[in-house]
């Protein structure tokens, strides 16, 4: 679509060389032709008025008018009485576009994990909050401001986390960041500055995210096994690490809750080792058949860096998160934030604060809990009907579950994933979450956050035989007969 200008003429970069010996009109015509032929000026795009272009280039208006008339006669420009001069629709034929290989594949159901219901984003509430924030925005808030973030949002977040997560949140030690990835990077870089050299992470977990952030901070990342009670603190002790990244409220991806005795052991390890725990509190808002679990930060605010975001509760695209910093790390994390980007966008922060203060955020969470609970039930019901051999775990909270495939064949996971894709169903293996990428035992991480309730049973029915063990290595997986 061509640019539309209201009022003043658009600017156009053209240059003439009065020392070249080439006539000025010839130079102007040539540059305009080249701009149209190369697509720099698109079909239908408006040109400056002859008066304005003559003034900008120090030329006579008659010269510019003659130039426009010549290009019009050649078919490059079109003019109408009372309307602007524009590039003719047929003046430039762009090359055929390359096929868009980034277009998403159309799937019956895509059980990708880590993504909330994007259709459930409360757009009207968010636009209302933006308008309210803009209406009351002080002029001073348009300056760079505090690198920790808006004071208003930090106070609102502190109150919310104290109320909902039992965190020991202090607005003075909260730093607003652009999502979890930046928060983790800020935390690890500050820990490296404090003398930490090795950071541990849960296995299975998010090895790619942690190892990349650790490498950027100059740290060595080591995996620590997770069992049915959470991270193995004894194994953590043996690594020699002085920092660990954990998901205690709902372990990613197994879904287990860090057992009370492990929570206490982890805090005792951090205190004794002069170490720090980086808590990823990523989807604690969504729980179904268990009591809420408070944030680890509430037990030891001086040893825990707690990272939270609205990526799961609202949408990843908002890129808003926060760190609850221990006293010893608050200043280094703030300094790193100042150096990297000087602070996060203020208007969005104020909008989020308004959304929470108004109660609309809590209302949205209640609605999404109902939505995810219905999708969870649909997944359980569909698997019971079409693949009863598959066992599901990790369903007590969040919007993903772990599917344990029958048998122990290490190749089964890859075969099921590939076979499902051939039938237009997106499945994702647990191997991507393991530090060694092992495919045994064969498991799937089934996300149901961004797949419709009706699509879940259809998708499971399409691949039920694969999940039940009909697919074996070396056997061709064909799509279903749709004749």
SS (H, E, C) 280-340: ECCCCCCECCCCCCCCHHHCCCCCEEEEEECCCCCCHHHCCEEEECCHHHHHHHHHHHHHH
Are residue 391 and residue 463 in the same domain, yes or no?
Answer: yes
| CATH of residue 49 | 1.10.10.10
Residue 9: its pLDDT value, please?
61
Q: Is residue 169 part of a domain?
A: yes
Are residue 220 and residue 286 in the same domain, yes or no?
Answer: yes
Q: Which residue has the higher pLDDT, 470 or 282?
A: 282
% residues pLDDT > 90 (the chain): 78
Are residue 139 and residue 270 in the same domain, yes or no?
Answer: yes
Residue 482: its pLDDT value, please?
34
Q: Is residue 417 part of a domain?
A: yes
Q: Is residue 473 part of a domain?
A: no
Domain count, the chain: 3
CA 107 to chain centre: 21
User: Mean pLDDT throughout 413-435?
Assistant: 96
Give the domain extent around 78: 1-100
Comparing CA positions, the residue from 84, 2, 83, 5 lying closest to residue 36 is 2
Q: Which residue has the higher pLDDT, 162 or 470?
A: 162
Q: Is residue 480 part of a domain?
A: no
User: Mean pLDDT throughout 326-343?
Assistant: 96
Are residue 73 and residue 137 in the same domain, yes or no?
Answer: no
Are residue 265 and residue 286 in the same domain, yes or no?
Answer: yes
Residue 84: its pLDDT value, please?
84
Are residue 38 and residue 131 in the same domain, yes or no?
Answer: no
Q: How far is 267 from 455, CA to CA, in rounded Å?
A: 43
Residue 98: its pLDDT value, please?
66
| Residue 218 backbone class (left: φ over 0; alpha: ψ -120 to 50; beta: rest) | left
pLDDT tens for residues 449-467?
Answer: 999 999 999 999 999 999 9
The residue among 361, 381, 402 that closes a domain is 361
| CATH of residue 434 | 3.90.1150.10
Q: Is the distance from CB of 416 to CB of 74 less than 8 angstroms?
A: no
Are residue 371 and residue 317 in the same domain, yes or no?
Answer: no
| CATH of residue 127 | 3.40.640.10
- Which H helix or E strand runs over 127? helix 123-135
Comparing CA positions, the residue from 390, 369, 371 lying closest to residue 454 is 371
Residue 290: its pLDDT value, please?
67
User: Mean pLDDT throughout 55-82?
Assistant: 90
User: Mean pLDDT throughout 106-116?
Assistant: 95
Task: Tell me whether strands 243-246 and 198-203 are parallel, antiparallel or unpaired.
Answer: parallel
pLDDT tens for residues 4-28?
Answer: 444 456 788 888 898 888 999 999 9
The residue among 332, 361, 390 that closes a domain is 361
Residue 288: its pLDDT value, please?
80
Q: Is residue 411 part of a domain?
A: yes
Is the pLDDT assigned to residue 476 strictly greater than 50?
no
pLDDT tens for residues 241-254?
Answer: 999 999 999 999 99
Q: Is residue 159 part of a domain?
A: yes
Q: Is residue 349 part of a domain?
A: yes
Are residue 403 and residue 264 in the same domain, yes or no?
Answer: no
- Quote the DSSP letter at residue 308: E
> Could you tell me which residues are beta bridge partners of residue 444?
403, 429
Are residue 241 and residue 354 in the same domain, yes or no?
Answer: yes
Are residue 25 and residue 151 in the same domain, yes or no?
Answer: no
Are residue 167 and residue 264 in the same domain, yes or no?
Answer: yes
Tokens (6 digits) for 21: 């010996």
CA 124 to chain centre: 21
The residue among 361, 394, 410 that closes a domain is 361
Are residue 373 and residue 432 in the same domain, yes or no?
Answer: yes
Q: How far is 415 from 409, CA to CA, in rounded Å?
A: 10
Q: Is residue 475 part of a domain?
A: no
Q: How far is 463 from 416, CA to CA, in rounded Å?
A: 9
pLDDT tens for residues 249-289?
Answer: 999 999 999 999 999 999 999 999 999 999 999 887 888 87
């Amino acid at each position: 679509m061509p640019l539309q200008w209201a009022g003043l003429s658009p600017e156009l970069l053209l240059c003439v060389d009065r020392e070249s010996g080439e006539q000025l009109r010839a130079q102007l015509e040539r540059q305009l032709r080249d701009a149209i032929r190369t697509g720099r000026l698109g079909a239908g795009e408006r040109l400056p008025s002859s008066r304005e272009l003559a003034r900008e280039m120090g030329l006579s208006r008659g010269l510019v008018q003659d130039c426009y008339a010549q290009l019009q006669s050649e078919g490059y420009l079109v003019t109408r009485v009372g309307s602007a001069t524009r590039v003719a629709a047929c003046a430039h034929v762009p090359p055929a576009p390359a096929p868009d290989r980034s277009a998403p594949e159309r799937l019956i159901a895509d059980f990708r994990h880590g993504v909330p219901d994007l259709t459930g984003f409360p757009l009207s509430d968010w636009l209302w909050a933006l308008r309210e924030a803009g209406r009351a925005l002080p002029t001073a808030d348009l300056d760079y401001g505090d690198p920790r973030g808006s004071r208003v949002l930090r106070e609102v977040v502190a109150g919310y986390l104290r109320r909902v997560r039992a965190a020991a949140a202090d607005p003075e030690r909260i730093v607003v960041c652009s999502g979890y990835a930046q928060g983790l990077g800020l935390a690890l870089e500050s820990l490296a500055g404090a003398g930490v050299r090795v950071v541990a992470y849960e296995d299975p977990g998010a090895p790619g995210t942690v190892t990349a952030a650790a490498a950027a901070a100059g740290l060595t990342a080591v995996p620590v096994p997770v069992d049915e009670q959470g991270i193995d603190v004894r194994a953590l002790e043996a690594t020699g690490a002085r920092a660990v990244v954990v998901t205690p409220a709902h372990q990613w991806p197994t879904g287990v809750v860090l057992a009370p005795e492990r929570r206490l052991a982890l805090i005792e390890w951090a205190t004794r080792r002069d170490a720090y725990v980086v808590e990823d509190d990523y989807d604690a808002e969504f729980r179904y058949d268990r009591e809420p679990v408070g944030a680890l930060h509430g037990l030891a605010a001086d040893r825990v860096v707690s990272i939270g975001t609205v990526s799961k509760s609202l949408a990843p695209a908002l890129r808003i998160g926060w760190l609850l910093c221990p006293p010893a790390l608050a200043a280094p994390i703030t300094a790193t934030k100042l150096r990297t980007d000087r602070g996060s966008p203020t208007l969005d922060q104020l909008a989020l604060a308004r959304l929470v203060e108004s109660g609309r955020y809590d209302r949205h969470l209640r609605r999404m809990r109902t939505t995810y609970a219905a999708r969870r039930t649909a997944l359980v019901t569909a698997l019971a009907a079409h693949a009863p051999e598959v066992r599901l775990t990790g369903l007590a909270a969040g919007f993903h579950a772990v599917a344990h495939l029958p048998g122990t064949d290490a190749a089964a996971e890859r075969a099921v994933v590939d076979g499902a894709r051939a039938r237009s169903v997106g499945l994702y293996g647990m191997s991507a979450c393991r530090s060694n990428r092992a495919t045994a035992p064969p498991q799937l991480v089934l996300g149901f956050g961004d797949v419709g309730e009706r699509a879940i049973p259809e998708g499971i029915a399409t691949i039920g035989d694969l999940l039940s063990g009909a697919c074996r290595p070396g056997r061709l997986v064909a799509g279903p007969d749709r004749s």
